[in-house]
Amino acid sequence: MNGPLISPDAISSLLRGLGVNTTYPRLRIAELIMTRREHLSAEQVFSIVNQTRPRVSRATVYNTLNLFVDRGLLQTVTSQAGVTLYDPNTEPHLHLHDLENDTLHDIPLQVLDGFPLENIASGFHVERIDLTLRVRKAEQATA
Ligand SMILES: [Zn+2]
């Protein structure tokens, strides 16, 4: 699931625009998350980033991902196993979790148009919706 290629210059200026100093690890991690457009754990990012040299430490990966969340470049979503996944789609959206291959797919929030949220959350302001549909292919769902 690769997104459009983003030039290193565009990534640099994006990070600078968010007030992030552009170090080598930050540029590598930003490039990775913005081209793959997947929901990756810190351990997955650590492993992929270190397929090429120079090596990036685990602490740097975690710190960089948290910095990117803090600056609004990523949001977090918790996997079924309780692992934090980093999501490059920072627009409000829902998830479809394909349990067969353990991948998350984004669903636009508009599918909830007409859903009576204001009745369900009466008296509250909805700040964020975390909704994940856990699915298997229909023909494999019944034993
Ligand atoms: Zn997502």
Over the stretch 40-77, which tens digit does the pLDDT of each residue have?
Answer: 999 999 999 999 999 999 999 999 999 999 999 999 99
pLDDT given for residue 4 in this prediction? 60
Helix (H, G, I), strand (E, B) or coil at 11: helix
Instruction: Assess contact for 95 and 131: CB atoms under 8 A.
Output: yes
Q: What is the DSSP string of 63-74?
A: HHHHHHHHTTS-
Query: Cα(74)–Cα(65) distance, rounded to whole angstroms?
Result: 8
Q: What pLDDT sits at residue 81?
A: 84
Going from the Cα of 50 to the center of ligand 1, the distance in angstroms, rounded, reads 24
**CA of residue 99 to ligand 1 center, whole Å:** 15
**Which residues on neighbouring strands pair with residue 76, listed in sequence order?**
86
* CA 103 to centroid of ligand 1, rounded, Å: 10
CA–centroid distance, residue 143 to ligand 1 (Å): 30
Task: Name the stretches of the chain with pLDDT < 70.
Answer: 1-5, 140-143
So what's the architecture of 91-141 in CATH? 2-Layer Sandwich (3.30)
Euclidean distance between CA atoms 33 and 14, whole angstroms = 13
Predicted pLDDT of residue 143:
55
**What length is written for the chain?**
143
Where do the domains of the chain lie? 8-86, 91-141
Ligand 1 centroid distance, CA of 65 (Å):
15
Give the CATH number of domain 8-86; options: 3.30.43.10, 1.10.569.10, 3.40.630.30, 1.10.10.10. 1.10.10.10
Amino acid identity of 143?
Answer: A
pLDDT, residue 96, reads: 94
Whole-model pTM: value is 0.83
